[in-house]
Amino acid sequence: MDSVRPSRRPANRRRQLVELAADLFAQRGYQAVSIEDIATAAGITGPALYRHFAGKQDLLAQVLLTGQETMDEAVEEALAGGGAPAGRLDAVVLALAELSVQRRGIAALWRWQARHLDEAARNEVRQRGRKFIQRWAGELALARPELPAVDAELLCTAALSVLGSVADHHASLPKRRFVWLLAQLAGAVCASTRVPAVAAEVVDATAPVTPSTRREQILAAATELFVQRGYRSVSMEDIGAAAGIAGPSVYRHFASKADLLMAGCGRLADQLSLGASRALSGAASPAEALDRLIGSYVEVVMEHGELLHVYNRELAHLPERNRQESLRIQRAYVAQWVELQVELSGATAPEAKIAVHAALTIINDLSRSGRLRARPGFAAELVGLAHDVLTPRRA
C-alpha cells in the first residue's frame, strides 16, 4: 500500500498571502478586510496566517513594500537595455503601464493605505516612494534637461497617478490596447509643457477657512479625522475632542457617525453637481464644455479636498441606500466627462473612461499635497495636466 504523504505548505506561501492581501485591500480598502478574509482567500485558518505575519498591520506593510519593490524591479529591468534618454524614459513608462494593467492597484495602494501603518513603517514606505519618484524623475530630467528637478518630480508623481487610476474603475480593454493607452496617458504627462505654470497668486495651504458654526466645526473636525485615520478608527468622542466639545454634545448636531459621513459626502456631491451644471450650461461647444468642466472640478477640489478624499474612500461605510445613491451621483458625474471625451476624441467609451479617470486622479492626488498646493500657479498646472491626458491621440 502506498504511503500517504503529508500535505506541504507552498514554498512561496508568504508571497501568496501578500498578493492576496494586496488584491483584497485594493478592492475593499484596508479597514474592510479582516485577517479571516485573507486566510479564507488563501485556504488556510486565521491562526495559520499569524505564522507568517504579526498581524494585519504587519501584512499591510509587507504588501506596500513588496509592491514598491516590484515597481522598482520593473524600472530597473526596463533600463537594462540602455539607449538614448528618450527611449529609456519610454521603456520605463511602458513597463510601469504593463505592470499596472496586470496588477491593477499596485501603483495606488501605497498612496492611500500608508496612513494605517505605524509611524516607523509609514516613514519607510514614504521614503521608498520618494526614492522611486526621484529615480523616475532622474530619467525624465535626462530626456528633458530643461526641467528643474522639482518639476520633473511633479510630472512623475502625476504620471504615477495615471497608472494608479486604473484601481478606481472597472473599465477594461484588451491587454495590449490597455497597456498602450495607459502608457500614452502617462507619457503625455511626462511630456507636458504646462509645468511650471506662471500665476500671480500663491495658494496658501496653511490658512484654511475657519468654519463659522458649531455644526460646521464638527463636520470639519470629523472630515479631517476620517482622512487621517479612516472612518472606522474614529469615534464620536474623538470628533468632539477635535471640535473642542464633549463627545455627547456632537449628538445635538448629528445623530450618528454615519450621519456625519453622509453630510460630508452630500455636501461634496452638491458642489460637484453645481459646478458641472454651470460649466455645461454656459459652454458654446463640447471643447469649451470640457475646459469649463475641468476648471470647475479643480476649483471644487482646491476648496474641498478633504471632503473629496472622504467621498472617494469611505463610501463603503454609509448605510446601503445612501451608499448606492452616492455611487449613482458619482457615476453620473463621471459620465458627463466620458460623454464629452467620446465626442471630442472619437475614443470608445471604455477608452474615454480610462482617460477621464486618469485626469481626475491626477487632480485628486496632487491636490492632497500641501507642498504642491503652495506652488505658484498650481491650480493652472492641475488644469493643464488634465488637458494633457484628455488630448485626442491616434493609435
**Interior angle at CA 270, CA 385 and CA 26, nearest 5:** 60
Instruction: Supply angle C-alpha 104, 109, 110, rounded to 5.
Output: 140
Looking at the domain 13-190, which fold is it?
Tetracycline Repressor; domain 2 (1.10.357)
Q: Which residues contact 241 (CB under 8 A, 6 or more apart)?
A: 247
The SS3 of residue 381 is: helix
Domain at 214-219+256-389: CATH code: 1.10.357.10
DSSP secondary structure letters along 210-262: PPSSHHHHHHHHHHHHHHHH-GGG--HHHHHHHHTS-GGGGGGT-SSHHHHHH
Task: Give the CA-trace dihedral at 46, 50, 56, 59, to 10 degrees.
Answer: -120
Q: Is the pTM of this model over 0.75?
A: yes
Q: Could you state, in order of their start, the residue ranges of all structural domains in the chain?
A: 13-190, 214-219+256-389
Q: What is the pLDDT along the chain (395 residues), one digit of tens a residue?
A: 444 444 455 558 888 899 889 888 877 778 788 999 999 999 999 899 999 999 999 999 999 999 999 999 999 999 998 899 999 999 999 999 999 999 887 777 777 778 788 889 989 999 999 999 999 999 999 999 999 999 999 999 999 999 999 988 889 999 999 999 999 999 999 999 999 876 544 344 444 555 668 898 999 999 999 888 888 889 999 999 999 988 788 999 999 999 999 998 888 889 999 989 998 898 999 999 999 999 999 999 998 888 888 887 788 788 888 889 888 999 999 999 999 999 999 999 999 999 999 999 999 999 988 889 889 899 999 999 999 999 865 44
Asked whether the beta carbons of 378 and 369 are under 8 A apart, the reply is no
Same fold yes or no, 13-190 and 214-219+256-389: yes
